[in-house]
Amino acid sequence: MKPFYRVAGIDVHKSMLAVVVGVADQPEKDWERRKFGTTVSELKHLAAWLQERGVQKVVMESTAMYWRPVWIVLEPHFSLELAQAQSNRAPHGRKTDFGDALRLVRRLWAGELRLSYVPDVEQRRCRMLCQAMQQVQEERIRVRNQIEVLLEESQIKLSAVVSDLLGASGRLILKALVAGKQTAAEMAEMAFGRLRARTEELKAALEGTLDEVCRGLLDQGLKRIEVLDGQQQEQQQWLGKMQREYASALRRLGQVPGIDVLAAQKILAAVGPTEAAFSSSANLASWVGVCPGRNESAEHSAGDHCPKGYRPLRALLAQAAWAAVRTKGSYFQELFRRWVARMGVKKAIWAIAHRLVCIIWCILHRGDTYVERGALALDEAGRQRKKKRLLQGLRQLGCEVSLKPIPEGAGE
């Protein structure tokens, strides 16, 4: 008997579902087939129809975002699996809607489908919020670049002097440019902090002129930046409230070099508070996409490029790896210095990202706490490897060796 006696395969479309109910001891020609709509009432009708037929497991394709409402309605009643569409492809000229649904059932039984990790409802909401935060950040960068283009068009070289165009000094000067009532010298005096030492450079950079159109567009850009900043702050507060019960895990993640509070929140939203879906750090690294891939046939390797993995977390870990190697005196900084000579910069950064994934898995899955060992840990590990290598060489030569540590100061 198959592991799942009754399985339903669903081929998902935007406005139509093709459903096949497979029974293990019946031929495929006798399996039930039916089409449903994708409205809420139709999905509830689908759930009732599957329950009447004693379905135990449902498998569907991950078609764009259209599988999500189907998953939400069926999740309380059935054990669900989400198959990657690439693993259910049909030969050209032999593709039908019911054929795709039937193939899902057949390949699930045979173990030939690549199944996706779908977290619970709470984690999905956290992921959705993180994606919205990323979109707001990208929009903010785009508006900031538009403001810089406006200034360049008006021969104002403010970005050449001010490192952060939207910082405290930069915003004061930009608002003064919108008002258009102050001279370049008066606006240069608005700077504070370290920019006070560059007043003459600011005065020269602000000698351009904004016309009425550019002034209006600059005003709109600044207002949009304020709206986006407010949205970012509000979204971060929502995420903090949703993850309040995981404060201990967030605190332990924040102790790792390169991972700040916001990065820890996004990691927790991506993989879950305990990483129960990933049996090992290697499994998590493969899912994220920070491990070498394999493309081999007839003992010939056609490449070892990393898989695409979960792209939001993959990009976040790349940024965290750069931050970690720039942390002075950290273990990752020394590790990067040793690897970059033989790997190159890009491979060394991905190796650091892989090491971060292993640490994240240990922190969330086993409850470990990160301890900064510094560069001395690598020196000690190197000495231990050298000692082991020398002992193996002596034993191969037929020597029996016993080690006795030398007291401190005896060798001086």
Answer for the pair 111, 131: CB distance below 8 angstroms, yes or no. Answer: no
Domain span at residue 53 reads 6-110
Q: Which of 256, 201, 280 is nearest to 369 (CA)?
A: 256
Instruction: Mark whether 222 and 311 lie in a shared domain.
Output: no
In a domain, 304, yes or no: yes
Task: Specify the pLDDT at position 2.
Answer: 43
Q: What is the pLDDT of residue 381?
A: 62
Do residue 213 and residue 309 come from a single domain? no
State whether 231 and 252 are in the same domain: no
256 and 177 together in one domain: no
Question: Hey, how many other C-beta atoms are within 10 angstroms of the C-beta on 73?
Answer: 17
Report the domain count for the chain.
Answer: 3
Of the residues 59, 78, 110, the one at which a domain ends: 110
Within a domain: 391: no
Nearest Cα residue to 136 out of 228, 226, 220 = 228
Q: Of 365, 386, 404, which marks where a domain is finished?
A: 365
Q: Specify whether 153 is located in the same domain as 179.
A: yes
Q: Is the domain of 126 the same as that of 238? A: yes
Last residue of one domain, picked from the residues 219, 242, 265: 242
Note whether 207 and 252 are same-domain residues: no
Q: How far apart are CA 150 and CA 135, in angstroms?
A: 23
CB-CB contact of 67 with 93 (8 Å) = no
pLDDT of residue 63: 85
pLDDT of residue 26: 80
pLDDT of residue 3: 44
- The pLDDT tens digits for 191-224 are 888 888 888 888 888 888 888 899 999 999 999 9
Tell me if 212 is assigned to some domain. Answer: yes
- Do residues 22 and 91 both lie within one domain? yes
DSSP for 241-253 reads HHTGGGHHHHHHH
pLDDT of amino acid 412 = 47
Are residue 238 and residue 162 in the same domain, yes or no?
yes
Instruction: Tell me the whole-structure pTM to 2 decimals.
Output: 0.81
Lookup result for tokens 């956290």:
126
Residue 372, SS3 per DSSP? coil
User: Is residue 115 in a domain?
Assistant: no
The answer to whether position 186 is within a domain reads yes
Residue ranges of the chain whose pLDDT lies below 70: 1-5, 299, 375-383, 407-412
> In this predicted structure, what is the pLDDT of residue 377?
59
CATH of the domain at 90: 3.30.420.10
Q: Rounded to a whole number, what is the largest CA-CA distance in the chain?
A: 90
Predicted local confidence at residue 331, as pLDDT: 86
Say yes or no: 274 and 308 in one domain: yes
In this predicted structure, what is the pLDDT of residue 182? Answer: 84
